[in-house]
Amino acid sequence: MPELPEVEALKDFLTENLVGHEIVRALPVAISVLKTYDPPLTAVEGREVVAVHRHGKFLDLETDGGPHFVTHLARAGWLHWKDRLPDGPPRPGKGPLALRVALETGAGFDLTEAGTQKRLAVYVVADPHEVPGIARLGPDPLAEEFDGASFAALLNGERRQLKGALRDQTLIAGVGNAYSDEILHAARMSPFKLAASLTPEETEALYRALRTTLTEAVERSRGVAAGRLKSEKKSGLRVHGRTGQPCPVCGDTIREVSFSDSSLQYCPTCQTGGKPLADRRLSRLLK
Protein backbone atom coordinates (compact mmCIF):
# COMPACT_ATOMS: atom_id res chain seq x y z
CA MET A 1 0.00 0.00 0.00
CA PRO A 2 1.36 3.43 -0.87
CA GLU A 3 1.92 5.40 2.34
CA LEU A 4 2.86 8.98 3.15
CA PRO A 5 6.39 8.94 1.62
CA GLU A 6 5.29 7.39 -1.68
CA VAL A 7 2.19 9.58 -1.97
CA GLU A 8 4.33 12.64 -1.21
CA ALA A 9 6.70 11.59 -4.01
CA LEU A 10 3.76 11.07 -6.37
CA LYS A 11 2.51 14.54 -5.43
CA ASP A 12 5.89 16.04 -6.36
CA PHE A 13 6.05 14.04 -9.60
CA LEU A 14 2.55 15.07 -10.64
CA THR A 15 3.20 18.69 -9.71
CA GLU A 16 6.06 18.67 -12.18
CA ASN A 17 4.20 16.81 -14.92
CA LEU A 18 0.54 17.84 -14.52
CA VAL A 19 0.37 21.42 -13.29
CA GLY A 20 -0.30 23.83 -16.14
CA HIS A 21 -1.79 21.14 -18.37
CA GLU A 22 -5.40 20.54 -19.37
CA ILE A 23 -7.29 17.34 -18.66
CA VAL A 24 -9.02 16.48 -21.93
CA ARG A 25 -10.41 13.06 -20.97
CA ALA A 26 -11.10 11.19 -17.74
CA LEU A 27 -12.21 7.71 -18.70
CA PRO A 28 -13.38 5.15 -16.11
CA VAL A 29 -12.78 1.52 -17.00
CA ALA A 30 -14.03 -0.03 -13.74
CA ILE A 31 -17.17 1.78 -12.60
CA SER A 32 -16.49 0.68 -9.00
CA VAL A 33 -13.60 3.15 -8.81
CA LEU A 34 -15.98 6.15 -8.81
CA LYS A 35 -17.22 7.04 -5.33
CA THR A 36 -19.01 10.28 -6.24
CA TYR A 37 -21.35 11.17 -9.11
CA ASP A 38 -22.23 14.84 -8.59
CA PRO A 39 -20.33 16.60 -10.02
CA PRO A 40 -19.63 13.92 -12.64
CA LEU A 41 -16.15 12.76 -13.59
CA THR A 42 -16.47 14.73 -16.84
CA ALA A 43 -16.48 17.96 -14.79
CA VAL A 44 -12.66 17.88 -14.72
CA GLU A 45 -12.43 17.68 -18.52
CA GLY A 46 -11.37 20.87 -20.25
CA ARG A 47 -9.86 22.20 -17.03
CA GLU A 48 -6.25 22.98 -16.21
CA VAL A 49 -4.55 21.35 -13.23
CA VAL A 50 -3.35 24.23 -11.03
CA ALA A 51 -1.97 22.33 -8.02
CA VAL A 52 -1.46 18.85 -6.58
CA HIS A 53 -1.96 18.27 -2.86
CA ARG A 54 -1.53 15.38 -0.45
CA HIS A 55 -3.92 14.68 2.42
CA GLY A 56 -2.54 11.70 4.35
CA LYS A 57 -2.58 8.94 1.70
CA PHE A 58 -4.97 10.83 -0.61
CA LEU A 59 -3.82 12.59 -3.79
CA ASP A 60 -5.73 15.73 -4.76
CA LEU A 61 -5.59 17.31 -8.23
CA GLU A 62 -6.98 20.83 -8.04
CA THR A 63 -8.38 22.20 -11.30
CA ASP A 64 -8.78 25.79 -12.42
CA GLY A 65 -12.13 27.09 -11.22
CA GLY A 66 -13.49 23.59 -11.03
CA PRO A 67 -13.66 20.48 -8.87
CA HIS A 68 -10.90 18.50 -7.22
CA PHE A 69 -10.00 15.05 -8.57
CA VAL A 70 -9.12 13.06 -5.44
CA THR A 71 -7.86 9.49 -5.37
CA HIS A 72 -6.89 6.96 -2.72
CA LEU A 73 -4.78 4.11 -4.09
CA ALA A 74 -5.80 1.69 -1.30
CA ARG A 75 -3.85 -1.51 -0.77
CA ALA A 76 -3.21 -2.66 -4.33
CA GLY A 77 -3.66 0.46 -6.41
CA TRP A 78 -1.04 2.44 -8.27
CA LEU A 79 -0.58 5.37 -10.62
CA HIS A 80 1.27 4.74 -13.89
CA TRP A 81 2.50 7.80 -15.77
CA LYS A 82 2.75 7.58 -19.57
CA ASP A 83 4.49 10.17 -21.72
CA ARG A 84 2.28 8.96 -24.55
CA LEU A 85 -1.02 7.26 -23.86
CA PRO A 86 -2.21 4.50 -26.21
CA ASP A 87 -4.47 5.59 -29.05
CA GLY A 88 -8.16 4.96 -28.62
CA PRO A 89 -10.22 4.58 -25.46
CA PRO A 90 -9.32 1.84 -22.95
CA ARG A 91 -11.44 -1.28 -23.10
CA PRO A 92 -13.21 -2.68 -20.03
CA GLY A 93 -12.00 -6.13 -19.11
CA LYS A 94 -10.49 -8.30 -16.43
CA GLY A 95 -7.19 -6.42 -16.30
CA PRO A 96 -6.04 -4.07 -13.53
CA LEU A 97 -6.80 -0.81 -15.39
CA ALA A 98 -9.44 1.18 -13.49
CA LEU A 99 -9.29 4.73 -14.88
CA ARG A 100 -7.33 6.79 -17.42
CA VAL A 101 -6.66 10.54 -17.40
CA ALA A 102 -5.42 12.11 -20.65
CA LEU A 103 -3.82 15.54 -21.11
CA GLU A 104 -3.82 17.85 -24.13
CA THR A 105 -0.18 16.86 -24.74
CA GLY A 106 -1.02 13.18 -25.31
CA ALA A 107 0.54 12.26 -21.97
CA GLY A 108 -1.43 11.16 -18.93
CA PHE A 109 -1.75 8.46 -16.31
CA ASP A 110 -3.55 5.21 -15.59
CA LEU A 111 -4.90 4.17 -12.22
CA THR A 112 -4.66 0.41 -11.77
CA GLU A 113 -5.57 -2.04 -9.04
CA ALA A 114 -4.37 -5.62 -8.71
CA GLY A 115 -6.31 -8.41 -7.01
CA THR A 116 -9.99 -9.06 -6.50
CA GLN A 117 -10.67 -6.62 -3.65
CA LYS A 118 -11.53 -3.38 -5.41
CA ARG A 119 -10.82 -0.54 -2.98
CA LEU A 120 -9.19 2.01 -5.29
CA ALA A 121 -11.28 5.17 -5.00
CA VAL A 122 -11.77 8.33 -7.07
CA TYR A 123 -13.82 11.30 -5.89
CA VAL A 124 -14.78 14.45 -7.80
CA VAL A 125 -15.68 17.12 -5.26
CA ALA A 126 -15.83 20.89 -4.89
CA ASP A 127 -13.82 20.69 -1.66
CA PRO A 128 -11.48 17.81 -0.73
CA HIS A 129 -12.92 17.79 2.81
CA GLU A 130 -16.16 16.48 1.29
CA VAL A 131 -14.32 13.15 1.02
CA PRO A 132 -15.14 11.33 4.27
CA GLY A 133 -11.66 9.84 4.64
CA ILE A 134 -10.05 13.28 4.36
CA ALA A 135 -12.52 14.90 6.75
CA ARG A 136 -11.59 12.33 9.42
CA LEU A 137 -7.81 12.61 9.05
CA GLY A 138 -5.62 13.33 12.04
CA PRO A 139 -2.63 15.68 11.83
CA ASP A 140 0.11 15.19 9.25
CA PRO A 141 3.19 13.88 11.08
CA LEU A 142 5.57 15.90 8.87
CA ALA A 143 3.77 19.21 9.31
CA GLU A 144 5.96 21.90 10.86
CA GLU A 145 3.49 22.46 13.69
CA PHE A 146 3.40 18.75 14.61
CA ASP A 147 5.92 18.80 17.46
CA GLY A 148 6.65 16.44 20.33
CA ALA A 149 4.04 18.05 22.53
CA SER A 150 1.36 17.55 19.86
CA PHE A 151 2.31 13.89 19.54
CA ALA A 152 2.25 13.37 23.31
CA ALA A 153 -1.21 14.93 23.49
CA LEU A 154 -2.49 12.48 20.87
CA LEU A 155 -1.22 9.47 22.82
CA ASN A 156 -2.39 10.73 26.20
CA GLY A 157 -4.92 8.20 27.47
CA GLU A 158 -4.70 6.14 24.26
CA ARG A 159 -5.35 2.54 25.40
CA ARG A 160 -4.53 0.84 22.12
CA GLN A 161 -1.32 -0.92 21.18
CA LEU A 162 1.26 1.19 19.39
CA LYS A 163 0.94 -0.68 16.09
CA GLY A 164 -2.77 0.03 15.86
CA ALA A 165 -2.45 3.61 17.08
CA LEU A 166 0.18 4.51 14.48
CA ARG A 167 -1.96 3.08 11.67
CA ASP A 168 -5.13 4.89 12.71
CA GLN A 169 -5.62 7.63 10.10
CA THR A 170 -7.91 9.58 12.44
CA LEU A 171 -5.05 9.80 14.96
CA ILE A 172 -2.08 10.38 12.61
CA ALA A 173 -2.45 10.74 8.83
CA GLY A 174 -0.38 8.77 6.34
CA VAL A 175 1.27 5.92 8.27
CA GLY A 176 0.33 2.39 7.22
CA ASN A 177 1.44 -1.16 7.86
CA ALA A 178 4.97 -0.90 6.50
CA TYR A 179 6.11 2.35 8.07
CA SER A 180 4.51 1.59 11.42
CA ASP A 181 6.80 -1.48 11.54
CA GLU A 182 9.78 0.68 10.58
CA ILE A 183 8.98 3.39 13.14
CA LEU A 184 8.60 0.89 15.99
CA HIS A 185 11.85 -0.81 15.03
CA ALA A 186 13.66 2.54 15.00
CA ALA A 187 12.14 3.36 18.42
CA ARG A 188 13.04 -0.15 19.74
CA MET A 189 9.48 -0.74 20.94
CA SER A 190 7.13 -3.70 20.81
CA PRO A 191 4.18 -3.34 18.43
CA PHE A 192 1.97 -4.60 21.28
CA LYS A 193 3.06 -2.03 23.84
CA LEU A 194 0.17 0.12 25.06
CA ALA A 195 0.40 3.75 23.98
CA ALA A 196 -0.84 4.91 27.38
CA SER A 197 2.04 3.09 29.13
CA LEU A 198 4.78 5.18 27.51
CA THR A 199 6.96 7.30 29.72
CA PRO A 200 7.68 10.88 28.60
CA GLU A 201 11.13 9.70 27.47
CA GLU A 202 9.64 6.85 25.45
CA THR A 203 7.06 9.16 23.89
CA GLU A 204 9.83 11.51 22.80
CA ALA A 205 11.83 8.58 21.38
CA LEU A 206 8.80 7.37 19.41
CA TYR A 207 8.18 10.88 18.10
CA ARG A 208 11.79 11.14 16.91
CA ALA A 209 11.53 7.72 15.24
CA LEU A 210 8.27 8.76 13.54
CA ARG A 211 9.68 11.98 12.13
CA THR A 212 13.07 10.55 11.18
CA THR A 213 11.72 7.41 9.51
CA LEU A 214 9.19 9.30 7.40
CA THR A 215 11.54 12.17 6.55
CA GLU A 216 14.27 9.78 5.39
CA ALA A 217 11.76 7.79 3.32
CA VAL A 218 10.49 10.98 1.67
CA GLU A 219 14.05 12.02 0.85
CA ARG A 220 14.82 8.60 -0.67
CA SER A 221 11.72 8.85 -2.83
CA ARG A 222 12.21 12.45 -3.92
CA GLY A 223 12.92 12.69 -7.64
CA VAL A 224 12.17 8.99 -8.25
CA ALA A 225 9.89 8.38 -11.23
CA ALA A 226 6.41 7.12 -10.39
CA GLY A 227 7.10 3.71 -11.88
CA ARG A 228 10.08 3.07 -9.59
CA LEU A 229 8.60 4.19 -6.27
CA LYS A 230 7.43 0.72 -5.23
CA SER A 231 10.89 -0.80 -5.57
CA GLU A 232 12.46 2.22 -3.87
CA LYS A 233 10.13 1.74 -0.90
CA LYS A 234 11.03 -1.93 -0.53
CA SER A 235 14.76 -1.26 -0.77
CA GLY A 236 14.64 1.19 2.14
CA LEU A 237 12.71 -0.99 4.60
CA ARG A 238 14.68 -2.55 7.46
CA VAL A 239 12.16 -4.99 8.96
CA HIS A 240 8.84 -4.84 7.12
CA GLY A 241 8.55 -7.59 4.54
CA ARG A 242 11.89 -9.09 5.61
CA THR A 243 10.78 -12.08 7.68
CA GLY A 244 13.64 -14.55 8.21
CA GLN A 245 16.36 -12.07 7.28
CA PRO A 246 18.90 -10.66 9.75
CA CYS A 247 18.09 -7.42 11.51
CA PRO A 248 20.39 -4.72 10.08
CA VAL A 249 20.97 -3.36 13.61
CA CYS A 250 21.66 -6.42 15.77
CA GLY A 251 21.71 -9.41 13.39
CA ASP A 252 18.84 -11.28 15.07
CA THR A 253 16.29 -12.96 12.79
CA ILE A 254 13.34 -10.77 11.86
CA ARG A 255 10.07 -12.42 12.86
CA GLU A 256 6.45 -12.06 11.78
CA VAL A 257 3.02 -11.98 13.37
CA SER A 258 0.18 -12.80 10.97
CA PHE A 259 -3.35 -11.46 11.02
CA SER A 260 -6.35 -12.32 8.88
CA ASP A 261 -5.51 -9.78 6.18
CA SER A 262 -2.04 -8.46 7.01
CA SER A 263 1.12 -9.12 8.98
CA LEU A 264 3.74 -7.23 10.96
CA GLN A 265 7.48 -7.76 11.19
CA TYR A 266 9.76 -6.98 14.12
CA CYS A 267 13.13 -7.78 15.65
CA PRO A 268 12.92 -9.63 19.01
CA THR A 269 16.30 -8.39 20.24
CA CYS A 270 15.66 -4.76 19.35
CA GLN A 271 12.00 -4.56 20.28
CA THR A 272 10.69 -7.26 22.61
CA GLY A 273 13.54 -8.12 24.96
CA GLY A 274 14.38 -11.21 22.91
CA LYS A 275 10.89 -12.71 23.32
CA PRO A 276 9.26 -13.89 20.08
CA LEU A 277 5.63 -13.02 19.43
CA ALA A 278 4.52 -16.20 17.69
CA ASP A 279 0.83 -15.34 17.53
CA ARG A 280 -0.81 -12.02 18.29
CA ARG A 281 -3.91 -13.72 19.73
CA LEU A 282 -1.87 -15.77 22.19
CA SER A 283 0.92 -13.33 23.00
CA ARG A 284 0.76 -11.19 26.10
CA LEU A 285 1.31 -7.48 25.71
CA LEU A 286 4.97 -6.64 26.05
CA LYS A 287 5.83 -3.63 28.09
Q: What is the pLDDT of residues 38-50, one digit of tens each?
A: 999 999 999 999 9
What Cα–Cα distance (Å) separates residue 212 from each residue in 107, 200, 255? 35, 18, 23
Torsion of CA 255, 257, 263, 264, to 10 degrees: -60
Report, as an integer, the average pLDDT of 17-31.
Answer: 96
* Structure-model confidence comparison of residues 234 and 108, the more confident one: 108
User: Over 70: is that where the pLDDT of 124 sits?
Assistant: yes
Report, as an integer, the average pLDDT of 52-77.
Answer: 96
User: Over 80: is that where the pLDDT of 287 sits?
Assistant: no
Instruction: Provide the pLDDT confidence category of residue 283 given band limits of 50, 70 and 90.
Output: very low
CATH annotation of 148-271: 1.10.8.50
122-153 per-residue burial string, b: 16 or more CB within 10 A, e: under 16: bbbbeebeebebbeebbbbbbeeebeeeebee
- Give pLDDT, residue 89: 84
CB 161 within 8 A of CB 287: no
Residue ranges per structural domain of the chain: 4-135, 148-271
Tell me the one-letter amino acid at 214. L
Mean pLDDT of the chain: 93
Instruction: Provide the pLDDT confidence category of residue 284 given band limits of 50, 70 and 90.
Output: very low
Report, as an integer, the average pLDDT of 55-60.
Answer: 98
Report, as an integer, the average pLDDT of 212-239.
Answer: 88
Same fold, 4-135 and 148-271: no
Instruction: Provide the pLDDT confidence category of residue 286 given band limits of 50, 70 and 90.
Output: very low
- Give pLDDT, residue 278: 60
Q: What percent of the chain has pLDDT over 70?
A: 97
Concatenated DSSP letters of 139-184: --TTSTT--HHHHHHHHTT--SBHHHHHH-TTTSSS--HHHHHHHH
User: Over 70: is that where the pLDDT of 281 sits?
Assistant: no
Specify the CATH class of 4-135 in words.
Answer: alpha beta
User: Over 90: is that where the pLDDT of 88 sits?
Assistant: no
Report, as an integer, the average pLDDT of 54-82.
Answer: 96
